[in-house]
Amino acid sequence: MMNTYIINEKVRLIRQAQSDYKKDFGLDYTPFTRKNFFYFFVRDNKKYVHKESLRFVYTNADTFHNDSDPTFCYLQKQVDIPDVVSFLGSAKSNLLPTLLEETNSFLVFDYIPGEPVKSLNEKDYKYIRNEVDKLELTPFYNSMTYNLLKNNNKVYLIDLKHFEKKVDIPFFIYFYNYDFGINTLYTDERSNVSLIKEIIDVDYPFDKANIIYY
Protein backbone atom coordinates (compact mmCIF):
# COMPACT_ATOMS: atom_id res chain seq x y z
CA MET A 1 0.00 0.00 0.00
CA MET A 2 1.30 3.43 -0.90
CA ASN A 3 2.24 5.85 1.84
CA THR A 4 -0.04 8.92 2.01
CA TYR A 5 2.96 11.16 1.49
CA ILE A 6 3.90 9.32 -1.71
CA ILE A 7 0.33 9.54 -3.02
CA ASN A 8 0.17 13.28 -2.36
CA GLU A 9 3.55 13.87 -3.98
CA LYS A 10 2.60 11.80 -7.02
CA VAL A 11 -0.50 13.94 -7.54
CA ARG A 12 1.49 17.14 -7.01
CA LEU A 13 4.20 16.13 -9.46
CA ILE A 14 1.75 15.07 -12.18
CA ARG A 15 0.09 18.47 -11.90
CA GLN A 16 3.51 20.14 -11.98
CA ALA A 17 4.50 18.15 -15.07
CA GLN A 18 1.25 19.20 -16.75
CA SER A 19 2.01 22.86 -16.02
CA ASP A 20 5.67 22.52 -17.07
CA TYR A 21 4.71 20.80 -20.33
CA LYS A 22 2.46 23.76 -21.15
CA LYS A 23 5.29 26.20 -20.39
CA ASP A 24 7.98 24.33 -22.33
CA PHE A 25 5.98 23.15 -25.35
CA GLY A 26 2.86 25.34 -25.40
CA LEU A 27 0.58 22.30 -25.37
CA ASP A 28 -2.04 20.94 -23.00
CA TYR A 29 -1.50 17.39 -21.81
CA THR A 30 -2.36 15.51 -18.61
CA PRO A 31 0.11 12.72 -17.73
CA PHE A 32 -1.15 9.54 -16.07
CA THR A 33 0.41 6.43 -14.54
CA ARG A 34 -0.77 3.53 -12.40
CA LYS A 35 2.73 3.06 -11.00
CA ASN A 36 3.64 4.22 -7.49
CA PHE A 37 6.19 6.74 -8.67
CA PHE A 38 5.66 9.14 -11.54
CA TYR A 39 8.63 10.55 -13.40
CA PHE A 40 7.84 10.29 -17.12
CA PHE A 41 5.09 10.00 -19.71
CA VAL A 42 5.05 8.92 -23.37
CA ARG A 43 3.53 11.02 -26.11
CA ASP A 44 3.98 10.97 -29.90
CA ASN A 45 6.68 8.28 -29.67
CA LYS A 46 8.74 10.38 -27.26
CA LYS A 47 9.50 9.71 -23.60
CA TYR A 48 9.22 12.91 -21.56
CA VAL A 49 11.20 12.58 -18.32
CA HIS A 50 10.07 15.27 -15.88
CA LYS A 51 13.19 16.53 -14.11
CA GLU A 52 11.53 17.53 -10.83
CA SER A 53 9.75 14.18 -10.60
CA LEU A 54 12.93 12.22 -11.33
CA ARG A 55 14.81 14.15 -8.65
CA PHE A 56 12.03 13.29 -6.20
CA VAL A 57 12.43 9.58 -6.94
CA TYR A 58 16.15 9.78 -6.18
CA THR A 59 16.05 12.07 -3.15
CA ASN A 60 12.77 11.67 -1.31
CA ALA A 61 10.61 8.85 -2.60
CA ASP A 62 12.01 6.09 -0.39
CA THR A 63 12.39 8.17 2.76
CA PHE A 64 8.74 9.11 3.42
CA HIS A 65 10.09 12.42 4.68
CA ASN A 66 8.60 15.89 4.31
CA ASP A 67 11.95 17.62 3.83
CA SER A 68 12.11 18.64 0.16
CA ASP A 69 15.92 18.49 0.19
CA PRO A 70 16.90 15.63 2.51
CA THR A 71 20.50 14.88 3.40
CA PHE A 72 19.78 11.56 5.14
CA CYS A 73 18.14 8.46 3.68
CA TYR A 74 16.33 6.24 6.16
CA LEU A 75 17.06 3.17 4.06
CA GLN A 76 20.75 4.06 4.33
CA LYS A 77 21.40 3.43 0.64
CA GLN A 78 23.11 6.70 -0.26
CA VAL A 79 23.52 9.92 1.65
CA ASP A 80 25.27 11.64 -1.24
CA ILE A 81 22.66 11.47 -4.00
CA PRO A 82 24.11 12.05 -7.49
CA ASP A 83 22.48 14.55 -9.83
CA VAL A 84 20.97 11.96 -12.13
CA VAL A 85 19.21 14.59 -14.25
CA SER A 86 22.55 16.11 -15.24
CA PHE A 87 24.03 12.63 -15.72
CA LEU A 88 21.26 11.51 -18.07
CA GLY A 89 21.48 14.74 -20.02
CA SER A 90 25.13 14.11 -20.87
CA ALA A 91 25.62 10.33 -20.64
CA LYS A 92 26.98 8.68 -23.77
CA SER A 93 25.90 5.06 -24.08
CA ASN A 94 24.21 2.93 -26.72
CA LEU A 95 22.38 1.22 -23.87
CA LEU A 96 20.29 4.34 -23.20
CA PRO A 97 17.52 5.76 -25.40
CA THR A 98 18.60 8.67 -27.59
CA LEU A 99 18.21 12.09 -25.94
CA LEU A 100 16.28 14.16 -28.49
CA GLU A 101 15.88 17.41 -26.61
CA GLU A 102 16.33 19.04 -23.21
CA THR A 103 14.13 21.87 -21.93
CA ASN A 104 13.89 23.67 -18.58
CA SER A 105 11.72 20.91 -17.13
CA PHE A 106 12.14 17.83 -19.33
CA LEU A 107 14.60 15.40 -20.83
CA VAL A 108 12.97 14.15 -24.05
CA PHE A 109 14.11 10.69 -25.17
CA ASP A 110 13.28 8.58 -28.17
CA TYR A 111 10.56 6.12 -27.13
CA ILE A 112 11.72 2.57 -27.79
CA PRO A 113 9.12 -0.21 -28.02
CA GLY A 114 10.16 -3.82 -27.69
CA GLU A 115 10.01 -7.05 -25.74
CA PRO A 116 11.07 -7.12 -22.06
CA VAL A 117 14.34 -8.96 -21.52
CA LYS A 118 13.92 -11.83 -19.03
CA SER A 119 17.12 -13.74 -19.78
CA LEU A 120 20.50 -12.95 -21.31
CA ASN A 121 22.82 -14.73 -23.68
CA GLU A 122 26.57 -14.18 -23.42
CA LYS A 123 26.67 -11.68 -26.29
CA ASP A 124 24.02 -9.42 -24.75
CA TYR A 125 25.55 -9.69 -21.28
CA LYS A 126 28.98 -8.59 -22.50
CA TYR A 127 27.46 -5.80 -24.59
CA ILE A 128 25.65 -4.40 -21.55
CA ARG A 129 28.73 -4.75 -19.36
CA ASN A 130 30.90 -2.87 -21.86
CA GLU A 131 28.34 -0.07 -22.17
CA VAL A 132 28.03 0.31 -18.39
CA ASP A 133 31.83 0.48 -18.13
CA LYS A 134 31.59 3.82 -19.96
CA LEU A 135 29.18 5.30 -17.42
CA GLU A 136 29.90 7.05 -14.16
CA LEU A 137 26.83 5.50 -12.49
CA THR A 138 25.20 2.07 -12.70
CA PRO A 139 21.54 0.98 -12.58
CA PHE A 140 22.38 -2.69 -12.07
CA TYR A 141 22.30 -2.96 -8.26
CA ASN A 142 18.58 -3.69 -8.61
CA SER A 143 16.49 -6.35 -10.32
CA MET A 144 16.45 -5.70 -14.05
CA THR A 145 13.21 -7.59 -14.77
CA TYR A 146 11.18 -5.34 -17.11
CA ASN A 147 13.90 -2.66 -16.92
CA LEU A 148 15.59 -3.84 -20.11
CA LEU A 149 14.01 -4.43 -23.49
CA LYS A 150 15.16 -5.61 -26.89
CA ASN A 151 14.39 -3.77 -30.11
CA ASN A 152 15.79 -4.91 -33.48
CA ASN A 153 18.04 -7.36 -31.65
CA LYS A 154 19.56 -4.59 -29.52
CA VAL A 155 19.17 -4.24 -25.74
CA TYR A 156 18.13 -0.93 -24.17
CA LEU A 157 17.76 0.24 -20.59
CA ILE A 158 14.33 1.87 -20.27
CA ASP A 159 13.92 2.29 -16.49
CA LEU A 160 15.97 5.33 -15.45
CA LYS A 161 15.22 5.46 -11.73
CA HIS A 162 17.80 2.97 -10.39
CA PHE A 163 21.16 4.63 -11.02
CA GLU A 164 23.65 4.55 -8.15
CA LYS A 165 27.32 5.25 -7.66
CA LYS A 166 29.48 2.29 -8.55
CA VAL A 167 31.11 0.34 -5.74
CA ASP A 168 34.06 -2.03 -5.90
CA ILE A 169 32.26 -5.28 -6.71
CA PRO A 170 32.15 -7.47 -9.85
CA PHE A 171 29.67 -6.46 -12.55
CA PHE A 172 26.39 -8.37 -12.48
CA ILE A 173 22.87 -8.33 -13.91
CA TYR A 174 20.10 -9.72 -11.73
CA PHE A 175 16.57 -10.71 -12.74
CA TYR A 176 13.90 -11.41 -10.13
CA ASN A 177 10.14 -11.79 -10.40
CA TYR A 178 8.26 -13.97 -7.91
CA ASP A 179 5.10 -14.39 -10.01
CA PHE A 180 7.02 -15.75 -13.02
CA GLY A 181 9.60 -17.74 -11.05
CA ILE A 182 12.53 -15.63 -12.24
CA ASN A 183 15.57 -15.48 -9.95
CA THR A 184 18.78 -15.42 -12.00
CA LEU A 185 22.14 -13.74 -11.56
CA TYR A 186 24.46 -13.17 -14.51
CA THR A 187 28.05 -12.29 -13.73
CA ASP A 188 31.59 -12.72 -14.98
CA GLU A 189 33.50 -15.95 -14.68
CA ARG A 190 35.46 -16.15 -11.39
CA SER A 191 33.48 -13.26 -9.85
CA ASN A 192 33.36 -13.06 -6.07
CA VAL A 193 29.64 -13.73 -5.66
CA SER A 194 29.72 -13.09 -1.92
CA LEU A 195 30.36 -9.39 -2.64
CA ILE A 196 27.40 -9.26 -5.00
CA LYS A 197 25.25 -11.06 -2.42
CA GLU A 198 25.69 -8.18 0.04
CA ILE A 199 23.79 -5.87 -2.31
CA ILE A 200 21.16 -8.29 -3.64
CA ASP A 201 20.33 -9.80 -0.25
CA VAL A 202 18.96 -6.50 1.02
CA ASP A 203 15.81 -6.76 -1.12
CA TYR A 204 15.74 -10.18 -2.81
CA PRO A 205 16.01 -13.94 -1.96
CA PHE A 206 19.47 -14.26 -3.42
CA ASP A 207 20.19 -17.64 -1.77
CA LYS A 208 17.74 -19.28 -4.20
CA ALA A 209 19.14 -17.58 -7.30
CA ASN A 210 20.40 -19.47 -10.32
CA ILE A 211 23.89 -18.14 -11.09
CA ILE A 212 25.13 -18.02 -14.68
CA TYR A 213 28.76 -17.13 -15.41
CA TYR A 214 29.82 -15.56 -18.72
pLDDT tens digits for range 134-154 = 999 999 999 999 999 999 999
66 has a pLDDT exceeding 90 = no
pLDDT tens digits for range 12-56 = 999 999 999 999 999 999 998 888 889 999 999 999 999 999 998
Instruction: Give the other-Cβ count within 10 Å of 172's Cβ.
Output: 23
64 has a pLDDT exceeding 70 = no
Q: What is the pLDDT confidence band of residue 5, given thresholds at 50, 70 and 90?
A: confident
Q: How far is it, in rounded angstroms, from Cα 214 to Cα 60?
A: 37
Closest CA to 10 of 39, 47, 30: 39
pTM to 2 decimal places: 0.88
Phi and psi (nearest 5°) for 53?
-70, -40
The pLDDT of residue 53 is: 94
The pLDDT of residue 165 is: 87
Q: What is the pLDDT confidence band of residue 76, given thresholds at 50, 70 and 90?
A: very low
DSSP annotation of 98 reads P
Long-range own/partner contacts, residues 9-12 (CB < 8 A, 24 or more apart): 9/56, 9/60, 9/61, 10/36, 10/37, 10/38
181 has a pLDDT exceeding 50 = yes
When pLDDT is averaged across residues 91-99 and rounded to a whole number, the result is 94
The pLDDT of residue 34 is: 87
Task: Classify residue 63 by burial, with Cβ atoms within 10 Å: 0-12, 13-18, 19+.
Answer: middle
The pLDDT of residue 77 is: 47
